[in-house]
Amino acid sequence: MAFTMTVAEVIAADKTGLLSKHPSWARVKLSEVASILNGAPFDSAQFSTSGGTPLVRIRDVVSGETSTYYTGSFEDIYLVQRGDLLVGMDGDFNSGEWKSQSAILNQRVCKISPDHAFFSQKLLRHLLPSYLKAINENTPSITVKHLSSKTIGEIGLPLPPRNEQTRIVEKLEELLSDLDAGVSELKAAQKKLGQYRQSLLKAAVEGALTAQWRAQHTPTETGAQLLERILKERRARWEAKQLAKFEEQGKAAPKDWQKKYQEPVRPETSGLSELPKGWVWSSIGQCFQVAVGATPSRKEPSYWDGAIPWVSSGEVRFSRITATKEMITEQGLKNTSTQINPIGSVMLGMIGEGKTRGQVAILDVPAANNQNCAAIWASETDIPPEYVYYWLWSQYEETRRGSSGNNQPALNKSIVERISFPIAPLDELKQIVRQVDRELNAAAEQELAIEHALKQSAAQRKNILKAAFSGQLVPQDPGDEPAAVLLERIRAERAGHDTSKKPRGRKAKEAA
């Protein structure tokens, strides 16, 4: 939707301090100190990824580079050069300087070209994000947000004396360059932690992490023996449930009733990697019961706001689930195909265009689940649920690639049951969990420290910008031309030129 307030109202209501100005400064509309050029509606049928003229689209504003090309003709007025200031006019209203080669400006992106005699482009680059963010926050969002060049032109910028603008920019760049360097180091460390986690999980589930431990400990039960025991226990649970059902119905067990038990299908392991001695390949479905849930009808109030935790796929995010956003009632449970999953069940997201599909979590509370995630009942066996969790976490990308469907890729119960699963001797599984827990906890502490430092850097950046925009970053110089006089010169020059007429472009060019 479009912006409905006035920019002046947004500035007056600001409480961040980022839209303020020094009392001695004036305010000037952006359109009075800069020209604003809207992009052209180039024909998408002539877009290319391999050849033509680079094309700037909304998604390219922040990165400052593009992978889209235009093969048709264009007017050179729409050319964008390195260093030009751009604004995306849909979505989040981002701004940025173009960092790449010459390109042409597509629709819903505008180029802002300040008159350097009156306003510093570098200062405008620092100022714009706060004003665009404030406008964005005050634009209704029922549908996609839209920004007009008219609204951009009405932004009332603080107008320091021209010489003071230069001093502000020099001080800003000095302070922010040091701050940005520190932030880059923190983000690099954050990225390395993510890579370390993946390396740790890979080493854990392949046996490399416990290689030394394994050399010093002889197992009393191999992975293959553990698997056979799990299969026997699984059959015993089925038989106990069947006998309980017969007793509840007041019936005697029929002849050969045990033959109705369906043995879990043994997985195909011929294409899998070699495991350490004592390990064996299995599958999720062979080892564990997999339960897919359901959603009670939203139209029935009596199904909701009960006492039974209910997990949605959005809550399955590489974590432990100690509470859920929604709760269902006993009636809701009975009127759907969902069930209460025991503590220790490993939840796996099955549907989602974003990152949800393939993510995992462990239940720390008994909970039902919806149809978009599977519950793997690891707690019915001696295998630590954490090991199942770590294995599926390590296989996140592989699991996502195993989805079916083209329009909306998804997993289903059968696909989940077929996921391969390496089993080590039980004592080694427990050792793996201990070591991974210890290393992940240490990494989590480091990550918290990094996040805290990033928040401090963001707060420091905001304080620097607030000081700059309110005239507190550099001293005022009595010898500078007053802002009021500068504003008079700006308006006098505008009065002598017809700036409302669109600049004429030269004849259309063929794409390169």
- Distance separating the N- and C-terminal Cα atoms of the chain: 36
Query: What is the per-residue pLDDT across 322-353, written as a single tens digit (0 to 9) for each?
Result: 999 999 999 999 999 999 999 999 999 998 76
pLDDT for 507 equals 46
> One-letter amino acid identity for 147?
L
pLDDT for 202 equals 97
Assess whether 212 and 226 both reside in one domain: no
Confidence of residue 505 (pLDDT cuts 50, 70, 90): very low
pLDDT for 496 equals 80
pLDDT for 509 equals 56
Q: Cα–Cα distance between 186 and 450 in angstroms, integer?
A: 6
Assess whether 413 and 314 both reside in one domain: yes
Assess whether 457 and 360 both reside in one domain: no
Q: Kindly tell me if the per-residue pLDDT of 41 is higher than 60.
A: yes
Structure tokens at 171: 């001080």
Query: What is the per-residue pLDDT across 358-389, written as a single tens digit (0 to 9) for each?
Result: 999 999 999 999 999 999 999 999 999 999 99
Assess whether 136 and 20 both reside in one domain: yes
Query: What is the per-residue pLDDT across 167-183, written as a single tens digit (0 to 9) for each?
Result: 999 999 999 999 999 99
Mean pLDDT of 210-223: 96
Q: Kindly tell me if the per-residue pLDDT of 4 is higher than 90.
A: no
DSSP state letter for 470: T
For the CA atoms of 102, 104, 108, 109, the dihedral, rounded to the nearest 10 degrees, stands at: 20
Largest distance between two CA atoms of the chain: 106
Structural domain including 248 reads 221-424
Q: Kindly tell me if the per-residue pLDDT of 63 is higher than 90.
A: yes
Select from 152, 162, 50, 142 the least CA-distant residue to 109: 152
Buried/exposed 273-308: b ≥16 CB within 10 Å, e otherwise: eebbebbbbbbbbbbbbbbbbbbbeeeeeebbebeb
Confidence of residue 405 (pLDDT cuts 50, 70, 90): low
Mean pLDDT of 410-425: 95
Mean pLDDT of 400-419: 84
Neighbours of 351 (CB within 10 A): 18
Select from 118, 112, 52 the least CA-distant residue to 83: 112
* Residue 80, strand partner residues: 103
Structure tokens at 140: 């209704």
Q: Kindly tell me if the per-residue pLDDT of 268 is higher than 50.
A: yes
Assess whether 195 and 256 both reside in one domain: no
Structure tokens at 161: 């004396």
Share of the chain above pLDDT 90, in %: 87
Q: Is 485 helix (H, G, I), strand (E, B) or coil?
A: helix
Mean pLDDT of 259-288: 92
Assess whether 177 and 108 both reside in one domain: no
Select from 386, 302, 396, 327 the least CA-distant residue to 355: 396
With respect to residue 196, please indicate whether it lies within any of the assigned structural domains.
yes
Assess whether 311 and 413 both reside in one domain: yes
pLDDT for 157 equals 97
Highest mean pLDDT among 411-415, 427-431, 489-493: 427-431
**CATH code for the domain in which residue 379 is found:** 3.90.220.20
Instruction: Say how many CA atoms lie within 13 Å of 3 toward its Cβ.
Output: 28
pLDDT for 271 equals 86
Assess whether 80 and 43 both reside in one domain: yes
Please provide the average confidence, as pLDDT, over all residues in the chain.
93
With respect to residue 92, please indicate whether it lies within any of the assigned structural domains.
yes
Q: Kindly tell me if the per-residue pLDDT of 18 is higher than 90.
A: yes
Mean pLDDT of 123-138: 96
Do 369 and 347 form a contact (C-beta atoms < 8 A)?
yes
With respect to residue 313, please indicate whether it lies within any of the assigned structural domains.
yes
Share of the chain above pLDDT 70, in %: 96
With respect to residue 390, please indicate whether it lies within any of the assigned structural domains.
yes
Mean pLDDT of 33-49: 96
For the CA atoms of 378, 379, 384, 387, the dihedral, rounded to the nearest 10 degrees, stands at: 30
Structure tokens at 112: 């802002």
Confidence of residue 497 (pLDDT cuts 50, 70, 90): confident
* Residue 172, strand partner residues: none
- φ and ψ at residue 451, rounded to 5 degrees: -60, -40
Q: Kindly tell me if the per-residue pLDDT of 266 is higher than 60.
A: yes
Do 158 and 465 form a contact (C-beta atoms < 8 A)?
no
Confidence of residue 511 (pLDDT cuts 50, 70, 90): low
Question: In 213-286, where do the E strands start and end?
Answer: 280-283
Structure tokens at 452: 């805290």
pLDDT for 498 equals 56
Assess whether 284 and 381 both reside in one domain: yes
Give the global pTM: 0.80
Q: Cα–Cα distance between 195 and 461 in angstroms, integer?
A: 28
Confidence of residue 499 (pLDDT cuts 50, 70, 90): very low
pLDDT for 269 equals 84
Please report which residue ranges of 95-220 form alpha helices under DSSP H. Answer: 121-137, 149-153, 162-206, 211-216
The count of structural domains within the chain is 3
With respect to residue 154, please indicate whether it lies within any of the assigned structural domains.
yes
Q: Name the one residue in this structure whose structure tokens are 């050792």.
A: 431
- φ and ψ at residue 158, rounded to 5 degrees: -65, 140
Q: Kindly tell me if the per-residue pLDDT of 309 is higher than 80.
A: yes
With respect to residue 207, please indicate whether it lies within any of the assigned structural domains.
yes
Angle, helix 121-137 to helix 426-469, in steps of 10 degrees: 110
Assess whether 270 and 314 both reside in one domain: yes
With respect to residue 166, please indicate whether it lies within any of the assigned structural domains.
no
Q: Cα–Cα distance between 353 and 370 in angstroms, integer?
A: 17
Q: Cα–Cα distance between 19 and 268 in angstroms, integer?
A: 64
Assess whether 186 and 335 both reside in one domain: no
Question: What is the edge-to-edge ordering of all strands in the sheet holding 103-105?
Answer: 47-48, 69-70, 53-56, 103-105, 79-80
With respect to residue 181, please indicate whether it lies within any of the assigned structural domains.
yes
Do 74 and 49 form a contact (C-beta atoms < 8 A)?
no
Assess whether 250 and 310 both reside in one domain: yes
